[in-house]
Structure 1
């Protein structure tokens, strides 16, 4: 069975740093990696559950306010236990929960958050977001390499 990855970068690309998730997803798409699909979307919507149900790994990318420093954060995600009717507001856990409820399964998931400081109307990224983008891309490569090696090792054993 072929292992697949879905990268979803989301945010409002007309609100400066809020669009960094979409920009990163487009960069990943430009790599044209086999078994990796990348989507740049304005917000997480219920229709994405169909795409999530058919992949082994999902990586969500979004901008965030720098609450505890300016680090790019990577955290594992689990499906929400209850289905949030407001899945369109941008919560990947709720979207994973919806995927699990409808399809009976959902992928392993990671959430990459990139700090931003300018969320005003505009299409330019702050230096903070640009630096975060570079770091996030490295972290995504690390996730993909780690998963590829894990899948290769499991396949070699099977």
Structure 2
């Protein structure tokens, strides 16, 4: 089955704000949107390349350190120029390159990063991450609206 969206939220959910990607993926899964699959995972691994072949659009969601301020960042992604030779695919661009190399298909891709300030062991989000979560969900809805009207599915079934 193709013509779908995959949201992949990743990070360590035992490290406070680092788990924000997984929390967002779980929230989106609770919306029960048709044609939108949501994965909450610890890290990006090569086996995800197979799942990406069935996807037209992938949205990666992760925490980040606040380098350029506290804003949620959204950027389009293209495959990395060279595939990392390591066993683990550490970043979305490497995973996209692997998908392209193995299967000849690379979905349209976006990366949504949410700044965090607490990456210590724990399961509570900082206030900054909580606000970022809400902003990121709105930005993901905007991406879905631009690509195809997936949001209508949620409004009709809610």
TM-score when scaled to structure 1?
Answer: 0.91
Question: What pairs up with 1:122-133 in 2 under 5 angstroms?
Answer: 122-133=122-133
Shift of 1:2: 5.8
Paired residue total: 149
What is the DSSP-based 3-state SS (H/G/I as helix, E as strand, rest coil) of the residue aligned with 2:88?
Answer: helix
Structure 2: 5+ residue runs without aligned partners?
150-158
More helix by share: 1
1:4 touches 1:55 (CA, 8 Å); kept in 2? yes
Structure 1: 5+ residue runs without aligned partners?
150-158
Closer, same or farther: CA 119–89 of 1 in aligned 2, 3 Å: farther
Distance 1:95 1:23 in 2: 21
Distance 1:70 1:90 in 2: 23
Q: 1:66-115 CA distances to partner (integer Å, 9 max, x unpaired)? A: 01100000000001121112373630000000000000111000000000
**Greater mean alpha carbon deviation, residues 85-94 or residues 133-142:** 85-94
1:87 touches 1:95 (CA, 8 Å); kept in 2? no
What is the DSSP-based 3-state SS (H/G/I as helix, E as strand, rest coil) of the residue aligned with 1:17?
Answer: helix
Question: 4+ residue runs of structure 1 moved beyond 6 angstroms?
Answer: none
Shift of 1:3: 2.0
Question: What pairs up with 1:5-84 in 2 under 5 angstroms?
Answer: 5-84=5-84
**Greater mean alpha carbon deviation, residues 85-94 or residues 110-119:** 85-94
